[in-house]
A and B are shown apart, each in its own frame.
Chain A
Amino acid sequence: MSGLVVGAAMLGVLTGGVYALMASGLTLIFGVMRIINVGHGALVVLGAYLSFALLRGLHIDPFLGLAVTMPAMFAIGLVLELLFIRPLRTDREALSVLVTYALALGIEGVLGYLFSSDFQQLRVWYQTASFAVGGFGVAYVYVFGFLLSIAVLAALGALLYATTFGASIRATMLNRSAAQLIGIDVERVSAITFGIGMATAAVGGVVFGITNAFNPGSHYDLISRLLTIIVLGGLGSLKGAIVAAVLMLVIEDVTAVVVSPTWAAFTFFALLVLILITRPQGLYGLRAREGT
């Protein structure tokens, strides 16, 4: 049993890293734009379908294909922000839920039309290939996904904390009006942040698409998990998204093998409630910092 627990914990850490990357775009978008993007799961699925199209049509490996899909998703993000998010001038947090949900339904509809509702999966040689660690098979795809997630998250961190543009993002996250007053073009920052969020969704989509059979409706399950992660981590916190994602996946996976899958989600949500009672802003919530 102990080997199984260690295996489940390792799996939780590896998949948690990938979920952290998917949630990072969501939390950044909230932090900068004050919008709740419930369409983020659909964007991850869109990323998976773009990789699927490249793999099926041009036989391009999904990870290599990110050289195409990340810029493409970034560009799509700029357009979506301009068309659907920027016009929201008042009550952005509430209205954004409706707008981004409509966006998710639109993406689902288009993908259903183009690819049908059949399940698809990105099939690559490292999908089921594995190496043994203590009697537990570690699949290469989880390792590749984890390493790539770490690299992208590190790049995001460097962008945020080591560049002038990153300072603009952080200033906008702290106080949008004050950032405007000191000359930051917050609309440009918002558009680029939305694009970055989309690009991270492309990376998440690759790993999601290799490890799961997906169809256009797969985003519903995904968004509920991603929202849970950023609430636990603290809305707008990159570090919070990483810690919460790993915590969630490890707790769920270990509970599933030790107790039962029925109790996996319950155990995590019980912990979530306890944490939110003591820290309503989440583990690393930005709102608390704003108030202090």
Chain B
Amino acid sequence: MRLTILRGAAVLTLGLIAATGCANGGGSAGPGRPILVGVSLSLDGDFSGDGKALQQGYQLWADDVNARGGLLGSKIRFKFVNDASSTQQVVTNYQNLITRDRVDLTFGPFSSLLTIPASEIAARYGYAFPEPAGGGPHVFDRGLKNVFFVQPAPVVNNLVSYTKWLLALPADQRPKTAAYATQDDPFTQPQVDRAKALLAAAGVQTVYSQVYPAETTDFTPLALSVAHSRADVVVLGCQLQDAIAFVQTFQQQRYSPRSLIETTGPDQGSQFSDKIGLANTEGIMVPAGWWPSVKTSANDQFVRAFLARYGGDAASISADAAEAFSVGQVVEQAVGKTQSLDNAKLIQALHSQTFQTIQGPMAFDSTGQPNGASFLVQWQHGQTVPVYPPGVAVVKAEYPKPNWQ
């Protein structure tokens, strides 16, 4: 009996070792066999909108590469699995993709929340984990070498371009006071804290600063306090709902700051402008890593291909799709440089090279953070346009923001 158990355990152990060994660092696509790329996407749940947009971007990249003959002579095929925005399911999905489906490459899911546990699984099996949407500080502070955040800047630097633009204004126009309010959210708060530190160091006095719970639903008292501060500049770390509520309360209080930037909200197109009125969007800013009209390498082709494939207009293209497409571009160039699908070689290449993407040139430090900067987008004449830095700007930034209509 004991012998049978020992024999069974030995077989099981050997089986596990064999499975792990096979999965370690991906399979090897040969001529004729497609390159299998595994991705867990949030096709249901809180992140379903973003998950679907990522899928569009990934698929568009694969179609583009396949139309050009594929990668190392093989076609690319995606294996998408749904995690329903669950941190548990995303772990199971990547475990299955690697050990059962034996994918050659893994690409990341949506959000820092899912990227953190998913990247641990990829690291365990030696897979590179380029990802489009996990930019929170905790993604990079776990000592992993396989994570690569394919956006121009880590989240914490999202408002750096804004501070540079403000501080570059002529001395007589430069703001003297600033008010800050942010959700206690890992996406918004680091951005606002960084902006506050940079502006304060440059002599812009902080006249109001508040962190509010992400669960807050009544934003009026907060907005009243900001309006009461009469700050020259208002920096808000918010989502769409509070972005709208703040602007409406400012209008009620007849308070129009000289500059207003919101981390999310103004980038949501008509979802934002319909609520506050198109005329009142004039001059409002938002940080961005990609924009349909931005002048970066191959962006025009991406926009044309996207519209041909999915329809709609350029303004309706989600930045998520562009970020997913960029993940593909980065990996394509890394594979081209190494002439290999060996994940260890890819990780090394991704740490040491600069890659051209539709979000601009991209390089990663030892933790996988990009070393670029986000740019500034502003509502002007009913449209959103990149205004800073000069390399991507299509028009000059409007300052001060005009009064509410």
Q: Residues of A with Cβ closer than 8 Å to B?
A: 3-4, 7-8, 11, 15, 118-119, 121, 123, 127-130, 132, 136-137, 139, 211-213, 221, 252-253, 256-257, 260-262, 264-265
CB distance from B26 to the nearest CB of A (A): 37
Select from chain A the residue with minimum beta-carbon distance to B181: A261
With a CB–CB cut-off of 8 A, which chain B residues contact A8? 221, 224
A-chain residues with CB within 8 Å of residue B211 when the two chains form the complex: 262
| A128 in contact with B220 given A123-B274, A261-B213 (CB within 8 Å) | no
Pair A256/B254 contact, Cβ less than 8 Å: no
Rounded to whole Å, the gap between the CB of B114 and the closest CB of chain A is 20
**What class of interface size applies to chain B in its complex with A?**
20 to 34
Chain B residues positioned under 8 Å from A129 (CB to CB): 252
- Report how many A-B pairs have Cβ atoms within 8 Å: 77
Given contacts A118-B271, A119-B241, A213-B240, contact A11 B213 (CB under 8 A): no
Question: Distance in Å from the Cβ of B266 to the closest Cβ of chain A?
Answer: 14
**Are B221 and A260 neighbours in the complex by a CB distance under 8 Å?**
no
- Our pick among B220, B221, B253, B271 for the contact of A119 (Cβ within 8 Å) is B271
- Complex CA–CA separation, A132 to B255 (angstroms): 12
Contact status A261-B216, CB under 8 Å: yes
Task: Contact check, B245 vs A213: say whether CB atoms are below 8 A apart.
Answer: yes
- Shortest distance between the CB of B208 and any CB in chain A (Å): 11
User: Closest CB of chain A to B173's CB: distance in Å?
Assistant: 27
B251 proximal to A (CB < 8 A): yes
B100 at the A/B interface (Cβ < 8 Å)?
no
Task: Report how far A248 CA is from B334 CA in the complex, Å.
Answer: 59
Q: Are B228 and A128 in contact, CB atoms less than 8 angstroms apart? A: no
Q: Please give 15 more A-B residue pairs, beta carbons under 8 A apart, in addition to A119-B271, A127-B248, A128-B404.
A: A3-B228, A119-B244, A121-B274, A128-B248, A132-B254, A139-B252, A213-B244, A221-B217, A253-B220, A257-B221, A257-B228, A260-B212, A261-B213, A261-B221, A262-B212
Cα A265 to Cα B218 in complex, Å, equals 11
- The chain A residue with its CB closest to the CB of B254 is A137
B152 CB to closest chain A CB (Å) equals: 28
Interface string of B246-278 (1 = CB under 8 A from A): 001001111000000000000000010011010
- A128:B212 contact, CB within 8 angstroms: no
Which residue of chain B lies nearest to A254 when distances are taken between CB atoms in the complex? B221
B218, A213: Cβ atoms under 8 Å? Answer: no
Which chain A residue shows the least CB distance to B247? A128
With A and B bound together, what is the CA distance between A128 and B224 in angstroms? Answer: 13
Taking CB atoms, residues of chain B closer than 8 Å to A11 are 220-221, 224
How many angstroms between the C-alpha atoms of A128 and B246 in the bound complex?
11
